[in-house]
Homo-oligomer: A and B are copies of this chain.
Amino acid sequence: MTEDAFLADYDPSRYPAVAVTVDVVALTIRDGVLHVLLVERGEAPFQGRWALPGGFVKVGEENLDQAAARELAEETGLSSPSRVHLEQLASYGDPGRDPRMPIISVAYLAFGPEMPDPRAGSDASDAAWVPVASLGLTASGAQPPGATRRLAFDHARILSDGLERARGKLEYTPLATAFLPGTFTIPELRAVYECVWDEALHAGNFHRKVLSVPGFIEGTGDTTASGGRKGGPRARLYRAGDARLLHPALLRPASEEDIR
């Protein structure tokens, strides 16, 4: 049988089919605090609980990246080709993760500069940027039962994986700049690292270090119009450089527990 004949004869219904969704872990920084975009579910299952924005992939029409970009744009109201970084995170397919039917979810991770408040989509009664710390996530991706906003499905686990990926990405890629506008100061860049890593960094050493990494940032020649809120000189302005990887990397101090 030729391949053409085979295709003409083909019956897709012979194969098991599943619904596939994309879910987006969209992170941004507001007022120096890491936030994630969540939607409040207006329908069962998990009605009234909060979930990652997402939806069904338009099979045959779009690829996974496009589906994720579409979902993110629908929730944030942002036009897609903005300065947002979007990358695939992982896929989740445990039986029973959705009580309705088997669903495979391809999760994406997005970083963006401070964005406007989202508008609620069709299937969400509300949508908001929520401080990640307010969700009380544990390292294993669990969420205590008493949390004010409890996440639906296995989204606490997905968010936890996304946060861990984000922390790692800041070490060896210049993606911290994706959280900032087109020009920024080194103290602003340091604030990104501090709130994603949740660790205080030494200002002087950080300053010297980011300048020493080739292609990380490049100066614009300008400075901020005024000093900081509590005083201090005007800071020089920088934009993102052309490096795709940081070398040497900015490693966060590893604790003994992380290693074993």
The chain A residues found within 8 Å of chain B, CB to CB, are: 1-3, 6-7, 10, 12, 15-20, 43-45, 47, 56-64, 88, 90-95, 99-102, 104, 106, 214-215, 242-245, 247, 254, 258-260
Cα–Cα, bound, A161→B246 (Å): 20
Do A57 and B93 form a contact, CB below 8 Å, given A100-B12, A245-B258? Answer: yes
Nearest-neighbor residue (CB-CB) of A44 within chain B: B6
Cα–Cα, bound, A7→B56 (Å): 18
Do A56 and B259 form a contact, CB below 8 Å, given A45-B6, A64-B91? Answer: no
Of B6, B47, B242, which contacts A3 at CB under 8 A? Answer: B47
- For this chain, the copies found in one complex come to 2
Residue pair A58, B245 in contact (C-beta under 8 Å): no
* Chain B residues in 8 Å Cβ range of A214: 259
Residue pair B242, A15 in contact (C-beta under 8 Å): no
Cα–Cα, bound, A232→B83 (Å): 58
**Extra 12 A-B pairs, beta carbons < 8 Å, given A3-B47, A6-B45, A17-B18:** A6-B44, A7-B100, A12-B100, A20-B20, A61-B95, A62-B95, A64-B104, A88-B91, A104-B106, A214-B259, A242-B260, A244-B259
Do A260 and B243 form a contact, CB below 8 Å, given A20-B20, A44-B7, A91-B64? Answer: yes
